[in-house]
Amino acid sequence: MNLSSSPSASPHPLAAFGWDEAWEDAFSPYGAQGLLPGRVVRVDRGQCDVVTGDGTVRADTAFVTPHDPLRVVCTGDWAAVDPDGGTPRYVRARLPRRTAFVRSTSSKRSEGQILAANVDHAVIAVPLAVELDLARIERFLALAWESGARPVVVLTKADLVPDAVTLAHLVQDVETSAPGVPVLAVSAQDGEGLDVLTAVAAGGTSVLIGQSGAGKSTLANALLGEDVMDVRAARDVDGKGRHTTTTRNLLALPGGGVLIDTPGLRGVGLWDAGSGVGQVFSEIEELAEGCRFHDCAHESEPGCAVTEAIETGALPERRLESYRKLLRENRRIVAKTDARLRAEIRKDWKRKGAIGRAAMEAKRGGDSRRR
Ligand SMILES: Nc1nc2c(ncn2[C@@H]2O[C@H](COP(=O)(O)OP(=O)(O)OP(=O)(O)O)[C@@H](O)[C@H]2O)c(=O)[nH]1
Ligand SMILES: [Mg+2]
Ligand SMILES: [Zn+2]
């Protein structure tokens, strides 16, 4: 089967899912083995749904399930699957990722979890139904920058803020917390902002990230033009209720582009997101270059450009506090992860040592028996 798209032929069946020449190149060794290329549209119970040129197939992931949770197959991955015939089919390989949205499962633990792979836009959905939590937005943004995708903040349910001046202020507050990031107010209910979001989403793969009840699936349905995802009124306000969306689902959009809808996130811990944090607080890092001391802690040092900016009102003090908090948390996670890695390596050496010793003893036992 010839998988390459000849110039005169109709577009590749996977083009709507993001297939391009670079993926085709990366896939070619697997194509030579007779495997099918496909994109993972959902993962559940040790299996996944993969959209291929022959439609969506179910495939087992047993061969591509390493111990490292960051390397398991995830929605958005490109994969090589068995051709028709085998039951079950297996995913034989996962192509190297361009980007990966990763968080730690909570800020207390050092367990990384991948939420979506090969994403171009990380769309952070923040509901205007509740008071804005800027620190939470900054935390999401740090992960989004770190993923390699371009972040976009979408303020959902804009219909709940009918006063245009108030809405503009809310957008501005978020913009102050998100330098270099587009901030859109949208309403799935009255259609506000959906045209802009449709245009953003057309440019590649987008993932919707945010708390449960933020309106992610409602947005997905609005962009799809049909009710594909289940939507439900939030069952509670403290975020402890059941999530409506329970798996990550990849959907091809009619207006072009690919969308991944994800279950609501309760805790979002940073995961080795040092450069992401730097990008969220780029104005502070720029100011810091003007501090007199190279290693200024922006506390009480003379000639500190950061504290000066706070005094003149150019920099909200909240921003500096949030920056410090996220930097601290990130350092903690990185240190813990390193410690865990070191412990695992030690354990592995001990295990290998034990196996080696057992083998030597068995050999000696065998030798003595032979004597
Ligand atoms: N007023 C208003 N309500 C909305 C809008 N978008 C979503 N909602 C409501 O918000 C609630 C939650 O919407 P969902 O789309 O299920 O939220 P979600 O982010 O997908 O939630 P999880 O799947 O649990 O993560 C539903 O009751 C929606 O009707 C909107 O634009 N305006
Ligand atoms: Mg949902
Ligand atoms: Zn300083």
Report the pLDDT value the prediction gives residue 367, as an integer from 0 to 100: 47
Give 362 or 306, the one with higher predicted confidence: 306
pLDDT value at 161 more than 60: yes
CB atoms within 10 A of CB 64: 19
Close Cβ partners of 301 (under 8 Å, ≥ 6 residues apart): 291, 292, 293, 307
Cα 299 to middle of ligand 3, angstroms: 7
- In order of 172, 216, 305, the CA distances from 155 in angstroms are 11, 11, 32
- Give the residue from 38, 34, 117 showing the smallest Cα distance to 73: 117
Categorize the per-residue pLDDT at 262 as very low, low, confident or very high, splitting at 50, 70 and 90: very high
**Phi and psi torsions of 78, nearest 5°:** -100, 140
Q: What's the angle, vertex CA 11, arms to CA 6 and CA 12, rounded to 5?
A: 80
Mean pLDDT score, 220-226: 95
pLDDT value at 318 more than 80: yes
Condensed to tens digits (0 to 9), the pLDDT of residues 51-105 reads: 999 899 999 998 888 877 788 899 999 999 999 876 789 999 999 999 999 888 7
What's the CA gap between 31 and 81, in Å, rounded? 10
97 in ligand 1 pocket by Cβ < 6 Å?
no
Report the pLDDT value the prediction gives residue 109, as an integer from 0 to 100: 55
- Which string of DSSP letters, residue by residue, matches 266-296? S--B--S-HHHHHHHTHHHHHHHTTSSSTT-
Report the pLDDT value the prediction gives residue 9, as an integer from 0 to 100: 67
Report the pLDDT value the prediction gives residue 113, as an integer from 0 to 100: 85
**Phi and psi torsions of 143, nearest 5°:** -65, -40
246 CA: nearest ligand 1 atom:
23
Rounded (10°) CA dihedral 343, 345, 347, 349: -150
Percent share of the chain, pLDDT over 90: 67
Task: Tell me which amino acid residue 40 is.
Answer: V
Cα 279 to middle of ligand 1, angstroms: 29
Give 6 or 225, the one with higher predicted confidence: 225
Condensed to tens digits (0 to 9), the pLDDT of residues 164-200 reads: 999 999 999 999 999 999 999 999 999 999 999 999 9
Task: Tell me which amino acid residue 164 is.
Answer: A
Let me know: does 276 contact 141? Beta carbons within 8 Å: yes
265 CA: nearest ligand 1 atom:
25
Name the residue with tokens 């412990």.
Answer: 343
Mean pLDDT score, 205-218: 95
Q: Which ligand is nearest to the CA of 284?
A: 3
Sign of the Cα pseudo-torsion (108, 110, 115, 118, in order): positive
Name the residue with tokens 């998988």.
Answer: 3
pTM for the model stands at 0.86
Instruction: Supply 144's token pair.
Output: 């989004």
Give the residues across from 40 on adjacent strands.
50
pLDDT value at 349 more than 70: no
Close Cβ partners of 34 (under 8 Å, ≥ 6 residues apart): 83
Residue nearest to ligand 1 atom 28, measured at CA: 233
Q: Which ligand is nearest to the CA of 290?
A: 3
Report the pLDDT value the prediction gives residue 151, as an integer from 0 to 100: 97
Q: Is 36 helix (H, G, I), strand (E, B) or coil?
A: strand
Mean pLDDT score of the chain: 87
214 in ligand 1 pocket by Cβ < 6 Å?
yes
Please report how the helices 317-370 and 134-147 are oriented relative to each other, as an axis angle in degrees rounded to 10: 50
Report the pLDDT value the prediction gives residue 272, as an integer from 0 to 100: 80
What percent of the residues of the chain are helix, what percent strand, and what percent coil, each to the nearest 5? 40, 20, 40
Report the pLDDT value the prediction gives residue 275, as an integer from 0 to 100: 87
